[in-house]
Amino acid sequence: MLINALMYSYDLTRHEYKPAHPFKPARARLMSELLNRYGLISEENQRIIAPPLMNEGLLYLFHTREYIELLKKGEKGEFSIEMLHAGLGTEDNPLFKAMYQYALAASSGTYEGAMMLYRGDARFAFNPFGGFHHAGRDHAEGFCYINDIAVAISDLIRKGLRVAYVDIDAHHGNGVQDAFYETDRVLYISLHESGETIYPGTGFEGETGSKKGIGYNVNIPLREGTDDEVYLLAFESLVPPLIESFNPDIVVANIGCDTHRDDPLAHLNLTSNGYKRVISIINDLSPGILALGSGGYNPAKTAALWTLAWATFCGLTPQDLHAGIVGGMMYGPESEAGQLDDPPYIIGGWEKEQCLIHTQRVIDFIKDSVFPFHGITRS
């Protein structure tokens, strides 16, 4: 029996970069409460797995040894100018106790999930602690210390698999792009807010790969203000035909929630309605899916969207097991998440027109410049 695996450790939820830092590992604890509340974690084919620590040597499939040694020194309270040059000790990537151990443990969930898919033990695995798509070979950036995605995918392709990577986080996954920019063994697709208005300032549609990788790096930058309708226009026009043509063994999906209209660090207008539709499409694209939590800086909304994603990947409908009890009021930490679903939200007027014009231009560019590499007929 193929299982649906949740890579989860309560201990990881207790880590904190620093009190005022927007990245909150505790989001996963809130999600776990919601999974229980809505009856989504008790099926026979579901497992909660606390993954073992991965072998440190695997990190060198992507990272430099010198950088990993700096991480180890940083968590011990040491500091040097070399660390600062490597992006450590900054506002985005502060030094904190057990920093390296946290990053390694969070990355281990991604690696173990990938190996479960490789071994044929699982159909779907979700690591809410994973998705550190900004970390570079020799530096930290964007809240990311170890690039768990690049490490896991590097091992999968080393083992002979074809991997498609789909990133729906609001921020461009520059670290993963850099890792596979010159190979045709990985199909990289990222939908994100345009680098013109958000960090990291990369991910424009003209970045389509180099050498053997030309045509295998696909960026779909979106105008700030983009809503469900415009986002889905881009996603449905481009992602399914590319994935189907590439025919991957595994899809790695970075399902960050900072595209939501209530997120404080991005400027898109998605709701749970658009998010669920995208997750549903991804779910139909591959027999093996590894999902990663990535961004989302409204912790309550992120937990709610991850809950909906888990339900969709597992083919379940959330049922509020506590409705009607004590007036149906929520209690405990999950009360902050409110309802899982949002009401529809659609922008209009000049803003909508500009979003549509921008998105259609990007769609046309990709159909003209990328589709031919995959033998896809332009519709």
CA distance 293 to 279: 13
Q: What angle do CA 183, 188, 194 make, to 5 degrees?
A: 130
Taking the CA atoms of residue 76, residue 54, residue 127 and residue 60 in that order, the dihedral angle to the nearest 10 degrees is 80
Nearest alpha carbon to residue 221 among 240, 242, 199 = 199
Whether omega before 240 lies within 30 degrees of 0, making that bond cis, reads: no
Q: DSSP assignment, residue 89?
A: T
The H-or-E segment that residue 5 falls in is strand 3-7
Would you call 134 a catalytic residue per the annotation? yes
Active-site pick, 15, 134, 171, 267:
134
The token duo for 19 is: 């009190």
The residues, ordered by sequence, that sit 6+ positions from 325 with a Cβ below 8 Å of its Cβ are none
> First vs last Cα of the chain: how many Å apart?
40
Query: Which residues lie below 8 Å from residue 53, measured CB to CB, with a gap of 6+?
Result: 104, 105, 108
Are the C-beta atoms of 291 and 124 separated by less than 8 Å? yes
Of the candidates 227, 205, 237, 231, which has an alpha carbon nearest to the alpha carbon of residue 362?
A: 205
List the 289-292 sheet strands across, edge first.
Answer: 46-49, 3-7, 122-127, 289-292, 250-254, 163-167, 186-193, 217-222
3-class DSSP assignment, residue 187? strand
The residues annotated as belonging to the active site are 134
